[in-house]
């Protein structure tokens, strides 16, 4: 007979059993006993799942972590942060520059000179360069070749919309009779080329060139529009940096197909295809042409000066034969979809990627794990690990317990655990300052965030020092702007917003918000209220959510909070710009190019300036930073941009965190000496703190290793 007491206890017993079963995991010894393959599996946790495994589409850290193993770019950076070849074995960088012959401008000591005369004048100056100022002499030294391009005729069609937009678009044919043009090939990029040439040809030689007489519109248009078109079609000067990549002949995709220059060009075209909605368009918009010279040689010409150019080619290369238009149409027909509208974003490739990296894709179970296996045909030799497993474990406590038991090989230590774990002899610890920051971002398209006074008030109401002390356990520092604090692009002279709730209230009052009888801020009969969101699986961000909510409540702002599963958070709220405010973080690179995150052209859905920051001066500085090759000038522009963004407060900059990662001490670098003997080395981080740099050589030993220096 079943007693009432047993009926009461049974659910409790079941709960205890389930709790124990959920928390129980096999120990490392239990895993490896009779299962030596465990030594060849690297298992790492992630709080959130990937959203895509296509490197031109994805924009979150989990996806990027997997893509870095499956795909490979033309280059990356070595331990000393210098560029090193990957798919590319080498490259050449030079410049082709152009200017139109200004026959109406007199040249000093030469008078009015035609095209051949200009070529001869510059050639003569090169031979007598020793008598010229150092800057001019250096510019002439870099010029390797001068060619005269004869006058040419051509025409283009321009589309002209009516001011009201109600009339059909007019097609205007613009006829061009271009004058002679000078082409110079320079051994190195010289951003001051035309400044220094003007000291030879005359200060007004370039600025006085008028392209309008060489252009005619049919039917005619007003002179102002014609002048704008003429300036676009006949730019008086033009910088065209060139990169020529020489590819390795032995790089294969995981399906066995040889990677060629056609695949690199296809990857560029895929980024630029509007149908793919790639967030990386801005990295490649400055490219003018990508030319396949031969199967292993690629020539990339830029429209203008673009200092981060080389770094952008670290993006993973896509296989053209699997994703070209013909392949996508075939896949669409197999799936019963419309071949004309089917894009890369709908392709199964998104969840079954094929790259040329050290690991190849095996399996992806959503919200459970992503499994990779080593690629034995990798050009640099296969990794020591046979398998790479990323397990999706959104609970940090579970991650911690599994790491201690040995079912995980790595663990990102929480701030309160650092002092304890860094002294544990079972583990090896790596720590440093993050390349990135955590912030509260505001949707500037929505009121009240369109008022800088409100944004500043929101920041002043939060005690960031308390977050660093009591949430981060001092594993972080204040940050005031968008550049990595380890670089000189970050301006340390800019003070953070003060913690000043009374000052915040005063700012809100200035913006028209007054407390009502219930204590809430109100304006025009409407309460100041909004929703602050973040992603699940991050206890620190959830703590910030609560701290911000309480701080804002103290000054009369009614804030609701919501924690969303990662894919929903990114795909439905961030990508679609459907949020009021959010807690998020950026991982930054070494380069100071902020175009994707802060330029006003990047504020559309699926782009990265999702807070909607638009500022003409900021746009101008971002472009200057991209086109500046002089480091000191670039730093100055970065500091000016830093100050501007700090003033505008499109987000509340909170802190840059200090990270600590722990690995089992049995994980080492396995290498061969020249005499063929096995050699085990300690894992050491690079200058940026990247301890995974030699991951392909990592292996886990059955016993704790002893190094000669210990």
Q: Looking at residue 478, what is its pLDDT?
A: 96
Q: Record the tokens describing residue 199, joined without a space.
A: 């000291």
For the chain, give the percent of residues with pLDDT over 70.
94
Q: What is the DSSP string of 365-415?
A: ETTTEEEEEE-TT-TT---S-SEEEEEE---HHHHHHHHHHTS-SEEE--G
Q: Looking at residue 5, what is its pLDDT?
A: 38
pLDDT, tens digit (0-9, with 9 covering 90-100), for 636-676:
999 999 999 999 999 999 999 988 888 988 999 988 766 76
710 vs 560, more confident: 560
Indicate whether 497 pLDDT > 70. Answer: yes
Indicate whether 704 pLDDT > 80. Answer: no
Indicate whether 15 pLDDT > 50. Answer: no
Work out the average pLDDT over 230-256: 97
Domains of the chain, residue spans:
93-241, 436-659
CB 437 within 8 A of CB 479: yes
Work out the average pLDDT over 182-198: 95
CA distances in angstroms from 427 to 46, 230, 409, 680, listed in the order given: 19, 66, 10, 17
Work out the average pLDDT over 12-28: 40
Confidence of residue 415 (pLDDT cuts 50, 70, 90): confident
**CA-based max dimension of the chain:** 118
618 pairs with which residues across the strands?
Answer: none
CB 705 within 8 A of CB 680: yes
Q: Looking at residue 29, what is its pLDDT?
A: 53
CA distances in angstroms from 160 to 168, 172, 225, 231, listed in the order given: 9, 7, 10, 17
Work out the average pLDDT over 504-510: 97
Q: Looking at residue 165, what is its pLDDT?
A: 65
Separation CA 612–CA 597 (nearest Å): 9
pLDDT, tens digit (0-9, with 9 covering 90-100), for 77-120:
998 889 999 999 999 999 999 999 999 999 988 888 999 999 99
Confidence of residue 586 (pLDDT cuts 50, 70, 90): very high
pLDDT, tens digit (0-9, with 9 covering 90-100), for 386-408:
999 999 998 888 998 999 888 99
What's the mean pLDDT when you consider all of the chain? 90
Separation CA 692–CA 669 (nearest Å): 10
Q: Looking at residue 650, what is its pLDDT?
A: 97
Q: Record the tokens describing residue 646, joined without a space.
A: 């700090």
Q: Looking at residue 674, what is its pLDDT?
A: 65
Under CATH, domain 436-659 is a member of which superfamily? Answer: Dipeptide-binding Protein; Domain 3 (3.10.105.10)
- The size of the chain, in residues, is 710
Alpha helices, DSSP H only, in 406-524?
Answer: 418-421, 452-460, 464-466, 501-510
pLDDT, tens digit (0-9, with 9 covering 90-100), for 669-702:
988 766 767 788 899 888 778 889 999 999 998 8
Helix axes 631-648, 452-460, angle to 10 degrees: 90
């Amino acid at each position: 007979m079943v007693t009432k007491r047993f009926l009461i206890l049974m659910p409790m017993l079941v709960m205890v059993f389930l709790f124990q079963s959920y928390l129980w995991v096999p120990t490392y010894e239990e895993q490896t006993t009779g299962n030596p393959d465990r030594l060849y599996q690297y298992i790492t946790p992630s709080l959130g799942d990937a959203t895509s495994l296509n490197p031109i589409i994805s924009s979150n850290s989990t996806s990027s972590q997997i893509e870095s193993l499956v795909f490979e770019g033309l280059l990356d950076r070595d331990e000393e942060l210098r560029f090193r070849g990957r798919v590319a074995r080498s490259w050449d960088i030079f410049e082709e520059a152009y200017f139109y012959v200004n026959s109406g401008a007199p040249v000093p000591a030469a008078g009015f000179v035609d095209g051949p005369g200009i070529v001869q004048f510059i050639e003569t100056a090169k031979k007598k360069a020793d008598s010229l100022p150092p800057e001019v002499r250096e510019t002439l030294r870099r010029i390797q070749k001068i060619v005269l391009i004869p006058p040419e005729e051509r025409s283009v069609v321009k589309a002209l919309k009516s001011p009201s937009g109600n009339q059909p678009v007019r097609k205007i044919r613009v006829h061009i009779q271009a004058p002679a043009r000078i082409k110079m090939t320079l051994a190195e990029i010289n951003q001051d080329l035309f400044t220094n040439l003007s000291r030879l040809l005359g200060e007004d030689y370039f600025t006085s060139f008028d392209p309008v007489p060489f252009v005619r519109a049919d039917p005619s248009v007003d002179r102002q529009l014609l002048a704008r078109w003429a300036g676009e079609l006949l730019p008086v000067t033009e910088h065209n940096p060139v990169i020529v990549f020489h590819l390795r002949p032995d790089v294969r995709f995981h399906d066995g197909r040889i990677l060629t220059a056609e695949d690199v060009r296809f990857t560029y075209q895929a980024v630029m295809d509007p149908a793919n909605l790639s967030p990386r368009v801005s990295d490649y918009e400055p490219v003018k042409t990508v030319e396949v010279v031969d199967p292993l040689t690629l020539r990339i010409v830029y429209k203008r000066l673009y200092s981060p150019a080389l770094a952008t080619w670290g993006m993973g290369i896509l296989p053209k034969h699997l994703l070209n238009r013909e392949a996508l149409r075939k896949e669409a027909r197999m799936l019963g979809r419309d071949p004309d509208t089917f894009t890369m974003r709908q392709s199964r490739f998104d969840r079954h990627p094929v790259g040329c990296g050290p690991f190849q894709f095996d399996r992806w179970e959503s919200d459970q794990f992503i499994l990779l296996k080593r690629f034995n045909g990798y050009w640099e030799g296969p990794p020591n690990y046979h398998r790479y497993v990323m397990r999706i474990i959104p609970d940090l406590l579970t991650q911690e317990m599994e790491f201690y038991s040995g079912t995980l090989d790595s663990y990102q230590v929480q701030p309160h655990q650092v002092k304890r774990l860094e002294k544990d002899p079972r583990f090896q610890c790596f720590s440093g300052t993050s390349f990135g920051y955590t912030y509260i971002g505001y949707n500037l398209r929505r009121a009240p965030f369109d008022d800088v006074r409100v944004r500043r008030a929101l920041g002043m109401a939060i005690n960031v020092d308390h977050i660093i002390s009591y949430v981060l356990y001092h594993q972080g520092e204040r940050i005031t702007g968008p550049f990595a604090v380890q670089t000189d692009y970050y301006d340390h002279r800019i003070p953070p917003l003060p913690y000043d709730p009374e000052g915040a209230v005063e700012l809100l009052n200035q913006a028209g918000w007054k407390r009502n009888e219930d204590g809430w801020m109100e304006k025009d009969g409407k309460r100041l209220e909004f929703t602050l969101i973040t992603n699940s699986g991050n206890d620190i961000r959830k703590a910030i959510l609560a701290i911000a909510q309480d701080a804002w409540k103290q000054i009369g702002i009614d804030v609701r909070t919501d924690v969303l599963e990662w894919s929903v958070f990114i795909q439905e709220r961030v990508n679609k710009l459907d949020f009021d405010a959010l807690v998020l973080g950026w991982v930054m690179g070494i380069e100071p190019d902020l175009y994707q995150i802060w330029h006003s052209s990047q504020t559309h859905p699926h782009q990265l300036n999702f807070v909607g920051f638009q500022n003409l001066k900021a746009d101008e500085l971002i472009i200057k930073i991209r086109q500046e090759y002089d480091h000191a000038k670039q730093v100055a522009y970065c500091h000016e941009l830093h100050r501007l963004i700090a003033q505008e407060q499109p987000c509340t900059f909170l802190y840059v965190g200090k990270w600590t990662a722990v690995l089992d001490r049995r994980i080492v670098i396995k290498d061969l000496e020249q005499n063929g003997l096995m050699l085990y080395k300690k894992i050491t981080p690079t200058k940026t703190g990247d301890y995974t740099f030699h991951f392909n050589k990592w292996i886990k030993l059955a016993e704790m290793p002893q190094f000669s220096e210990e």
